[in-house]
A and B are shown apart, each in its own frame.
Chain A
Amino acid sequence: MAIRANPRLIEELELYGAEDVSKCYHCGNCSAVCPFSRDPFLFPRKSMRYLQMGLEEKLKGNLDPWLCYYCGECSDECPRDAEPGETMMSLRRWLTSQYDFTGISRLFYRSWKIESAAILLVAALTGLGFWLFGSSVGSLGVYDGPGAFFPSSAIHKFDWALGFLLAGLLLVNCARMWWFSIGRDPKLRIPVSAYVRRLFLLPFHFFTQDRYRQCEKKRPWAIHLVLMLSYLTMLVLIMFFLHLVQSGPEIDWRVHAFGYLATAGLLGTTAFALYGRIRKTETHYKHSHESDWIFLILLGYVAGTGIVQHVLHRAGLNTAANITYLAHMMGVVPMLGLEVPFSKWAHLAYRPLAMYFSALQEEAMEARGRASEETARLRAA
């Protein structure tokens, strides 16, 4: 059955940042230089082609964009400046919006105004909520412990509640990702055993970013790894050791050590990325979608306010610390609440999943290949 081509898709993708796709005339240089492009995941050319012809369904089930780390080689090599790298980036944005069942992601990506508005709104609500809550349970002068404006125990509960909510949302989208790329394809019948056997890929890629490491340029990987680990450390500290982080004056040195390291990591990488994007130092920094800016600003803001309120607290300026803390939360909540499930941040889940699913796909295809050969041989005999 022929697939209907949709000439409008290419226009829609422009909103996600793919502005030069139509320039491509399929010389295939991009796929040739890409260290990752190999059968059956031939990108970026194939995805470019699907996009030009507007084969929406094909693209939805296509994991290739997640297998690309935007080292920029392809864009550098492209004779037509069709920016295959950026196209893959845009496709990742588009896919995120496709996986997301709420449709919020779609809104955000198509309009930075809506995204910013949503962030500001959530920030305002958070601010208001915490102020009322804080002033009801304690006083601005007290930082932690009984009568504190923000008792860590309460925040801790809040964090977990929020955490579960996000995980829930993310899980549903991941399930949709699975459905698009594997579930709905009758040709891909994958045994449970395979799912189990390959499961290790998830944590492996999540923690090592191993595939990113294989790109020819190593620095982007290193930076990304630092950012990711710092973020992770901070997450762990907050989710599990918040009381230790917040308690004082005498403090657990481990929390200190990790806390400072992570903060340094976050701030450093954020600063670097911002600088890069402003100066367009790298190919993958040339084109910046609004969502990229919002993400970085938000990250910087959260990390910044985090460390500032910590310092104030150390300095014993509890009132100031508490107000900063409020500001901090006004950043954290929209970041976790909106960015993680609906925007750029979601890739922390989708990328490792893509590795996992693609491995499964490949295995299934090989199996089918062997099977068909087998039947052929039998028929011949």
Chain B
Amino acid sequence: MGECRIGVYVCNCGTNIAKVVDCDAVARAAQALSGVVVARSYKYTCSTPGQETIVKDIQELGLDRVVVAACSPRMHEPTFRRALQTAGINPYFLEMANIREQCSWVHSDPRAATEKAVDLMRAAVRRVVWHEPLEKRYVDMCRTTLVLGGGIAGLTAALEIAEAGKPVVLVEKRDRLGGNVARVDLTAPYLDSARDMLRDRMEQVRKHPMIQVLLESELEALEGYVGNFKAHIRTKEGPFDTPAGAVVVCTGYQEFDASRVEHYGYGRLPNVITSFELEQMLRQGRLLTREGKPPRCVALIHCVGSRSPEYHSYCSRVCCMTALKYGHEIKSALPRCYVYDLYIDMHAFGKGCEDFYRRTAEMKTMFLMYEKGDLPRIEPAGDGDGGGMLIRIHEKLSGEDIEVPADLVVLMVGMEPREDAARVARLVNISQDKDGWFIESHPKLDPVATTTDGIFIAGACQAPKGIPGSVAQASAASARILAKLAHEKIEVDAVFAEVDDNLCSGCRMCNELCPYTAIEYDATRKRSQVISALCKACGCCVAACPSGAIKGRHFTDRQITAQIEGVLEWASSQG
């Protein structure tokens, strides 16, 4: 490591840091460290003048390393990296010391806080010495996109991409397209027919020259990395392989199994059915009880399997509107029929939904509110009530114990991740949250990408959502992919792990550890190597490599060790 010329910039962040930490003292301490050429305490280092100072110093004093002691690197690391770039040195020659979020904002004693700030700054200085120039790399991008799932999201994604003239391979597990939407009659809140919506899309997809539809097929394995995936698909004609630049996962959801809530006696009581069974009746246009009679009173029980500690804690999002929709459909089919909505809260957010709720209410649907923990009870009714059922509920809004007769009970079953979600997640290397939904790379700012480059998610496989949400997400995913396809090559992050081939002994310790199967083992040479484009730089293999052959770029043993020595210099000077 040659002699470095380091510049240290201690930000006061107005008074945010300065009011507790003695920034000048920190700067003075920095000045005393070997390699530090200049150390400044400045009011707002992230401000334009602040950045200009850094650029100026780099150019005039010939700095080749920069340490900024300021806010969290999660806040301004990109800002200062750009500054380094502007000044003409590698952006990775920067190290930040977090003396705001993790110092001045949480400590009140100026002495201790300043001491800590100095330690953090010193650690940064010691570390930055070992920083290496990193370059972003570029790899070729395959033009084909693989879409998993032929539901509304999959169809949309496929069409969007194909319309842009890019080839698509659509893989559908079942023998027909349409997914769950194909099981729905009308849609809330505008009561359009789901079938009409689908028919049109499915036609376009089937006919589209750029789309290859594989029915009764499943993804068996996915190798490679963004831009260069290789998909092994099992079709009914036999195995089928295709390269792919990106993958959109639209595997959707499955309905909650109502029989799990024994309390409601689904499967035991003949006239207790699920929302999907009701949809079927409505689609066939024959709404009848098991006895073949048109129902006089229909009770819709909300949140079956949703928003409950023992099943799913989350809200399934579409059931409330669907229940209101049933109110309309049932009333229009059987005007003399009474409809009860037994609900916890009415979630009527979204366009047109509040009005829809109101309209349903005006149609004299009786809304009965129950307490989360205190489910309605379904009991056989006396002959007085035509031998139907009686539903007892502690009605929350009135505080009264109510009973209502019903000859048909509909359980509004929630959505849950498909059984094979875990398998899919493993195949394409994405994560699932605690409920099993696929995790997006950022819940707010990046809801369609995943932590695996080139793998996108859309529709209800990411979280319960309705048709508009799924379509929007699918279009967003397609847009992201088309943006990538707009370039011949794609950028791969500069921070990743790499194996020193001269040290690797082929023990294969790392192979199994990599969550992204980014490490491949060359059996002939008996060496492992990291596919950098796949690597997400978690560093698990680096810590595990017994021969110290794997290096975690920008988080090398040397850099972290220097940091440790830096923060503990005080302690070690005592002992």
Contacts and interface: CB of A to CB of B under 8 A. Distances in A.
Interface of A: 1-5, 7, 10-11, 22-26, 46, 49-50, 52-55, 58, 80
Nearest to B379: A2
Contact of B403 (A5, A46, A50, A52): A5
B358 A23 contact: yes
B172 to A, nearest CB: 41
Given A49-B398, A50-B398, A2 B361 contact: no
Contact of A53 (B297, B361, B392, B398): B398
Given A25-B361, A80-B358, A4 B366 contact: no
Contacts of B397: 26, 49
25 contacts: A1-B401, A2-B392, A2-B403, A3-B400, A3-B403, A4-B402, A4-B405, A5-B402, A7-B297, A7-B338, A11-B364, A22-B361, A22-B362, A22-B365, A23-B358, A24-B361, A25-B358, A25-B361, A52-B366, A53-B366, A53-B402, A54-B366, A55-B398, A55-B400, A80-B361
Given A52-B367, A53-B368, A23 B361 contact: yes
Given A2-B392, A4-B402, A25-B357, 10 more contacts: A5-B340, A5-B366, A5-B368, A22-B361, A23-B362, A46-B398, A52-B366, A53-B402, A55-B400, A80-B358
A10 B362 CA distance: 11
B185 interface: no
B410 to A, nearest CB: 16
Given A2-B402, A2-B403, A58-B400, A7 B364 contact: yes
Contacts of A50: 398
Contacts of B340: 5, 7
B404 interface: yes
Interface in B360-392: 361-368, 392
Contacts of A23: 358, 361-362
Contacts, number: 61
Nearest to B394: A2
Given A2-B392, A7-B297, A7-B338, A22 B401 contact: no
B527 to A, nearest CB: 68
B87 to A, nearest CB: 59
A61 to B, nearest CB: 13
A102 B201 CA distance: 66
A269 B497 CA distance: 92
A354 B397 CA distance: 25
B479 interface: no
A50 B338 CA distance: 17
A336 B398 CA distance: 39
A50 B398 CA distance: 7
A26 B362 CA distance: 14
Contacts of A24: 361
A180 to B, nearest CB: 17
B395 A53 contact: yes
A2 B366 contact: no
A22 B403 contact: no
Contacts of B358: 23, 25, 80
Contacts of B402: 2-5, 53, 55
B346 interface: yes
A80 B401 CA distance: 26
Residue among A5, A10, A46, A53 facing the most chain B CB atoms (10 A cut-off): A5
B346 A22 contact: no
A184 B392 CA distance: 25
A26 B369 CA distance: 11
Nearest to B346: A25
A91 to B, nearest CB: 15
Given A7-B297, A53-B395, A80-B358, A22 B400 contact: no
Contacts of B404: 4-5, 7
Contacts of B361: 22-25, 80
A24 B392 CA distance: 22
A7 B366 contact: yes
A3 B297 CA distance: 17
Given A52-B366, A53-B366, A80-B358, A4 B398 contact: no
A104 B41 CA distance: 93
A55 B367 CA distance: 13
A24 B369 CA distance: 13
Contacts of A58: 400
Contacts of A22: 361-365
B543 to A, nearest CB: 57
A2 B358 CA distance: 28
